[in-house]
Chains A and B, each alone.
Chain A
Amino acid sequence: MILYVISVGLSVTMGLMGFINLAHGVFAMAGGFILSALLGRYGAPFPVAVAAAFLFVAIGSIVLERLLYSRLYGSGELAQVLFSIGLILVSMASARMVFGDQAARVFLPDYLRGQLHFLGRDFPTYRVFIIVFSVLIVFGLWFGVERTRWGAMVRAAVDHRTMAQSVGINTRLLFMLTFALGSGLAGLGGALGADILPVQWAYPFEHLVYFLIVVAVGGLGTLRGPFIAALLIGIADTACKYWIPEFGAFLVYAATIAILLWRPMGLFGMRA
């Protein structure tokens, strides 16, 4: 589910701006580090720290977008891929220099630790929290995109940028804000998931493939897509590791290939 929160931002950014941003994991990592720092060093309350992670990453991403990303909007796939790889390398190196090799430590507040007793089984509280939170985000996003004016503008711009511009939608501002939202979500995901997916310097690269799989399989520019995809991947991964441990991640990759061949635009992609 963490995969979802992180990846939905990527889906929106890539679907919206048509920008292949492999560096999305960087924002997640940043979120994780920020949360850890706030909780650990400054002793901030959990909700505040989480919100702060979201905000700081979002703002940071705006800076990056204005300075760097926006120059490459029309540049074609190769340039964007290379740029994002460069960004990953720079961030990973910086993270390593600043934080060393350790993973960010996250101290969960007491009310989120322990187990919940539910339907006769024990569930780790934190995981339940994450699932619930993710579902809330899904609804929030869905509501925002389908029902509000902002959402309508985003959808229009995704469909046809120049048309949207000629209708008076300020696409630059729109892109900037949406990118910020997407990256902020990544930061949020990284922060919340720090317990499950440890945040350390190699984070963006390690999980890059998974993020991309979730987005590509789910479908660019959609909200449901990554949700379902993340769900499927999570289930498949766990199931495989349980039943056929020799094959591990193998099945996930094979499934990805199969799905992408059947539906090249992703399960819910637009031009399928």
Chain B
Amino acid sequence: MPAALQTEKLCKTFGALTVAQNVDFRLEAGARHALIGPNGAGKTTFVNMLTGALAPSSGRILMNGEDITKTRQAARVKLGLGRTFQITTLFRRLPVLDNVALAVAEREGIARHMWKAAGRHNAIKDEAMALLATLGLADDARTPAQDLPYGKQRLIEIAIALGLKPKVLLLDEPAAGVPSTESERILQVLDRLPSDIAILIIEHDMDLVFRFAKRITVLVQGEVLVEGPPVEIAHDRRVHQVYLGEQHHA
């Protein structure tokens, strides 16, 4: 049974700097998998390679058994790979509905059409609205994204990704920078994500990680330190060292 997403000996170097080294990684279908590691471990670089925003120096990436190492970013999205960004990357001046509708339209192939007015494409609008409703954003549909509080903006990030009906979803620090009053909503949304999507979440917030993940991979300085269920990771001494060591230096 091929993994939803998989890497084999993935490496990335920038000149003399090695950011990823022989990373072997498996994301199973329907997984709830977390990627953790100290700052600078190379987590976002890894995600960028997975989505195709960055080309690896060597190694392979496979999706459902297909080699996508050379596939472009947009094509990977069409294959079912969605992501959210650590730094909120929205269409800030556009209404929330448009943010999501653009994604839905892309998926449906409607984005190319020049004839009928966008406002009359009810199928797209309805689907986008339904998606917004499940995330509690329905009332904000017409508000420009930049006018909403940060927590809701992070939710829009997720909404856009969901609009693509991904089979694999990469969430880059979904709760980052969100005040604790609003992060509970995000956690609820994460809990309710469809179970057939394979989800990889990068996070620093350990509470979120241990609540959400069924498997955890620990990345340190571009290499996989250890991988396993949360219970094992929580008790792994090397992991403690990595994080405690961090605290001493910080």
A and B in contact, CB less than 8 Å: no
Q: Which residues of B are at the interface with A, using a C-beta cutoff of 8 A? A: none
